[in-house]
Structure 1
Amino acid sequence: METRSEADLTILYGSQTGNAEFLAYNISEAAAKAGLETELLTLNDALQENRLSWGRLLIVSSTHDNGHMPDNADAFWRWLQSCDGGQYSGLPYAVLAIGDSMYDDFCKAGQDFDGRLAELGAVPMLKRIDCDVDFDMTSGSWVKKLLASIPETAPWSPEGAVLVDAATASRFASAPEPWRTARLIGSRELTSRGSDRRVLHYDLGLPDDFAYLPGDSVEILPRNSEPLVQEWVRAFPSANTIRLGDEEVPFADALRERLELRIPHIGLVNALITRIASSEAADRIRDLLDSGDRSDIDAWLWGRDVLDVVQELGLDRDGAQPVIDAMRPLQPRSYSIASGPAVSEAGLSLTVASVAYRRDGRSHRGAGTSFLESLPNDAEIALRRVVAHEFRLPSDEAPLIMIGPGVGVAPFIGFLHELEARRSPNETWLFFGDRQRSTDWLYESEMRRWQESGVLTRLDLAFSRDRDEKHYVQHEILTNAEELRSWIDRGAHIYICGDKNRMAHDVERALVDALAPDGAEAGRGEAILDSLRAAGRYAKDVY
């Protein structure tokens, strides 16, 4: 039976990694402080629970992968597309979209919700906002305007209720990927002695009914390291228990398994800085936030964890709860799968670069990498599949051009394992690079074996520190531009995996230049790349 919402504002969210969920909860709390009653649930839950009549609606949604709905919003979206025109005529609504401008379909999920609600007759209370990864900083004033407009906006009073029976709701539903328990079989180091970093290969045993495809990733739910937990315990010696929502939790347990200690965010800094009086450090950080200069803010945050921020602000050692209230839940860590199910349906492999460094007198380690490195063989690991949409092997015998420096090579190791096991005839071309050939050639023996067997048709390498001038995979792409165009003419698919901040941009720029023949008109390379993308022949997995 349909339940008519009596809340001042219904907030429905779609979230893949937790960012949109975190923001939706914060908006709900801000609304409560403003004296507004809210209803908060996922978009899919609204459909399943038949809560589809609202006085005023706010949708907060991220975009998953290249333009796809988050897993907990896809059923609602399919249902919304099936609705009759005018079904939500007069409904006051707003959309806050979260995305990453490194992706081509930036904020597409939020844009789709906005467009469809308008088609159904809903009326925007505020123009949609599209937020980049700095949503903590850019969404604040928009949210304040929205909440201020609520008392002045009459709630929707439809002539008839919006009803969906259970059979209809189930027709649109798709089960989200569940958390499963894997088992660590073993690990080996891929870098050699003399390398200035560690990269490890992990083999995991899977439950019988866990299935994946080449190109998929997995999320792993880590635990924060014990040394970091104890640093927090020493920083707040009087904290024995803390509140997480309505739950009282031992402080150390919350630190270990519930809270994101590694990655600070702008919202946390903003929340904490309001609690302290003027000081040299606090005033400097206030000025930085007020400047709105994202590059300077990112530079200040780079390498810091949450405890670094807390200590730099000089927060009261007896005041753990306000800090906890501003923190995010512990986030899963995502890793590309470096194996193929045709080789072994009972297991999968991961390629993981260890994160370890010192800053301001403290040792820092990555949450996911330190967790994995701490596990003995046969230890249990909570993980779930992240389904790839475009990042898939061709369905035919088309050639593959794979560009994956560093640990970005992981999914291509999976591709090549799969092609070998299937005895597929596809031609393959791998661009791989790292720091030094002698110490950092990941999967060297596998690549040599695949070259000898013909599974890997062509291999081009770029080791940046083996030359007087830095040499990267994008330089190899430009050097081989004519051959690359020949492969494209024969129907090749292009794949990129790796660092989104620098590598992906530089590689895409090189592809644009390489795809345009000498003397081609301006924009020819971009047009070719756009056509490949539209044809499903250009895919990125960047992070």
Structure 2
Amino acid sequence: MIPVLPDTAPFSPEQRAWLNGFFAGMLGMAAGNGAAATSAPAPEDDGELPWHDPVLELPQRLELSKGKPLRLKLMSAMGQLDCGQCGYLCKSYAQSIAEGAEKDVGKCVPGGKQTTKALKRLLEEEPAGTAALAHEAPTAVLPDFPPGPSRDRPARARLIVSYPLTKGDRDTRAVSVATAGLGLEHEPGDSLGIWAGNDPQVVELILSILKTKGNKAVMLEGATWTAREALTSRVSLREPTAELFALMADHAKLEFEAQRLALLAEDDERAPSYGIRDVFDTLVKFRSARPPVGAFIQSLSRMQPRLYSIASSAKRYPGEIHLTVGVVRYDEGGRGYLGLGSGYFAEHLSPGRPVPVFLQKSHGFRLPTNAATPIVMVGPGTGIAPFRAFLQEREAAGATGRNWLFFGAQHEATDFLYRDEMEAWRDKGLLTRLSTAFSRDQSQKIYVQHRMAEQAAELWQWLKDGAYFYVCGDAKHMAADVEHALVSVATTQGGLDAAGAKAWLAGLAKEGRYLRDVY
């Protein structure tokens, strides 16, 4: 019998799961040195995972996983980015849920509500921890939990500066945080996780609406917090949950509000049609529904960290980390809305203030080990961030490999991020090629994939010369369009048919030469 840590042990669920897996592994090795005791069968080879592609829509991914074990069905419902915001990779998060070690199915930030609903539906059809799992040989693939700062034990960096890189209506910022002595050793391609706090003004408004003092004690996940602490840093005030609608329906004093809330509890995706964008909107819209603050907080989804690609090299900027942050800001229905992470840097932090951070290591999005290898980088908008780090690293290391950057934005005059740096690198030869696409500067929109098509012959030659090809940015549209353009280059320049071009690209990915950091 393998002992496990008691639920009362002072560890988060992720820490407890990792430690239990560690001890189980140690005991398994010890048993292997003595008489053959009860041993688990070897883990099955899952083979190809065709749904592990963020370009595919959720229904397509679920269809591809039909007939597979529960853990793989659950995996197909994830966002497929392996971004680490949940504290796992897609596959290990799914397996931990399937084994019953992870109870929270709302951690997949890229997948959002769609993923949460799909996971709940799959678990209703085949509950976690059932006998159906017995033949699957669970291998306790649990989240990496290295020493030093982590998702659940963030370090306290300090904001150095946050200033606009853009000049027009769009607000994209260069953010620098001081990290000396925090154990955040990073490489180009890594990301920085940020635990942003909710808007303090919104928190105070919610407390006022619920007629609750901020220092009132509430329970959340076995710990005691003040209501203000929980609303500021433990729960999400973004999209309201079905659980919140159901709770408010139970406490609504007006019948028509109770009925509408009950309908939203059954289908929370209808909320925007009622002018409801977040939790605060819900309270304003349904004025007769005022649940107790403890139950209210329990009904909200848990806060998740925001990840940002690191935009600097430790060789160039030791003791600090740079980020490129696009601020999400819009008005609707007479109210202004601000992105959680981006708004945190744009509105709620001043230089010198602490920032809870952790390092998210890249899963393969790395520079070639051979410094002479050429690289092609496609990074429109904030997707330029890791490539700024790549170029700083190559410059500091004296790498001889050629570098080609495709950058895109709306307007050259206002949206060309890091323009002075990029043009200086081009002029000195570090950037062999700098290809730009500014979509709104002419009547016909031009994007990075169009520049790839225009320079297809040279691009194909770089790839024949062994170049690595990197993409960073939007998964659904930009990355898919770039992939189609790359396949087109292989057909027009390489003489391959459509099937051959796709097979060539798959081979490039298997070689580790086609790498994507998409979101």
- For Structure 1 versus Structure 2, the TM-score category normalised by the shorter chain is 0.7 to 0.9
Q: Quick one: which of 436, 441, 446 aligns to 1:471?
A: 446
Q: Quick one: which of 446, 453, 467 aligns to 2:428?
A: 453
How far does residue 312 in structure 1 lie from its aligned partner after superposition? 4.3
Say yes or no: does 1:380 pair with 2:354.
Answer: yes
Map 1:67-86 → 2, pairs under 5 A: none
User: Match of 2:197?
Assistant: 223
Runs of at least 5 residues in structure 2 that lack an aligned partner in the other structure: 43-68, 84-88, 100-107, 135-143
User: Match of 1:523?
Assistant: 499
Q: 1:467 to 1:414 in 2, by over 3 A?
A: same
Aligned residue pairs total 451
How far does residue 304 in structure 1 lie from its aligned partner after superposition? 2.1
Q: Quick one: which of 116, 124, 131 aligns to 1:144?
A: 124
Assess if the C-alpha contact under 8 Å between 1:239 and 1:320 holds in 2: no
Q: Quick one: which of 298, 311, 316 aligns to 2:289?
A: 316
User: Match of 2:235?
Assistant: 259
Task: State the alpha-carbon separation in 1 of the partners of residues 380 and 445 from structure 2.
Answer: 14
Say yes or no: does 1:490 pair with 2:465.
Answer: yes
User: Match of 1:3?
Assistant: 3
Map 1:83-162 → 2, pairs under 5 A: 87-88=39-40, 95=71, 96-97=74-75, 99-101=78-80, 107-109=90-92, 133=112, 134-147=114-127
Say yes or no: does 1:175 pair with 2:147.
Answer: yes
User: Match of 1:237?
Assistant: 211
Task: State the alpha-carbon separation in 1 of the partners of residues 39 and 451 from structure 2.
Answer: 55
* Bigger share in strand: 1
2:405 counterpart SS class: strand
Q: Deviations over 1:239-285 (max 9, x none)?
A: 65233234443322222222222344566567766776665744664
Task: State the alpha-carbon separation in 2 of the partners of residues 263 and 332 from structure 1.
Answer: 15
Task: State the alpha-carbon separation in 2 of the partners of residues 390 and 51 from structure 1.
Answer: 26
Q: What TM-score results when the alignment is normalised by the length of structure 1?
A: 0.71
Percent identity reads 29
Q: Which amino acid aligns with 1:235?
A: I
Q: What TM-score results when the alignment is normalised by the length of structure 2?
A: 0.75
How far does residue 486 in structure 1 lie from its aligned partner after superposition? 1.0
Task: State the alpha-carbon separation in 2 of the partners of residues 345 and 301 from structure 1.
Answer: 49
How far does residue 379 in structure 1 lie from its aligned partner after superposition? 2.1
How far does residue 441 in structure 1 lie from its aligned partner after superposition? 0.7
Q: Which amino acid aligns with 2:381?
A: G
Assess if the C-alpha contact under 8 Å between 2:271 and 2:277 holds in 1: no
Q: Deviations over 1:387-443 (max 9, x none)?
A: 012111111111111111111101111111111111211111111111111111110
Assess if the C-alpha contact under 8 Å between 1:399 and 1:487 holds in 2: yes
User: Match of 2:171?
Assistant: 198
1:523 counterpart SS class: helix
Say yes or no: does 1:504 pair with 2:495.
Answer: no
Q: Quick one: which of 389, 404, 409 aligns to 1:434?
A: 409
Q: Which amino acid aligns with 2:504?
A: I
Alpha carbon RMSD of aligned pairs, Å? 4.3
Q: 1:423 to 1:387 in 2, by over 3 A?
A: same
1:139 counterpart SS class: helix
Q: Deviations over 1:97-136 (max 9, x none)?
A: 36224679x9444687899x9xxxxxxxxxxxx9965232
Assess if the C-alpha contact under 8 Å between 2:406 and 2:436 holds in 1: yes
User: Match of 1:188?
Assistant: 163
Q: 1:264 to 1:338 in 2, by over 3 A?
A: farther
Q: Deviations over 1:23-80 (max 9, x none)?
A: xxxxxxxxxxxxxxxxx97431213455999xxxxxxxxxxxxxxxxxxxxxx9x999
Assess if the C-alpha contact under 8 Å between 1:477 and 1:510 holds in 2: yes
How far does residue 351 in structure 1 lie from its aligned partner after superposition? 0.9
Assess if the C-alpha contact under 8 Å between 1:236 and 1:317 holds in 2: yes
Task: State the alpha-carbon separation in 1 of the partners of residues 453 and 33 from structure 2.
Answer: 47
Task: State the alpha-carbon separation in 1 of the partners of residues 496 and 32 from structure 2.
Answer: 42
Assess if the C-alpha contact under 8 Å between 2:227 and 2:293 holds in 1: no
Task: State the alpha-carbon separation in 2 of the partners of residues 149 and 111 from structure 1.
Answer: 12
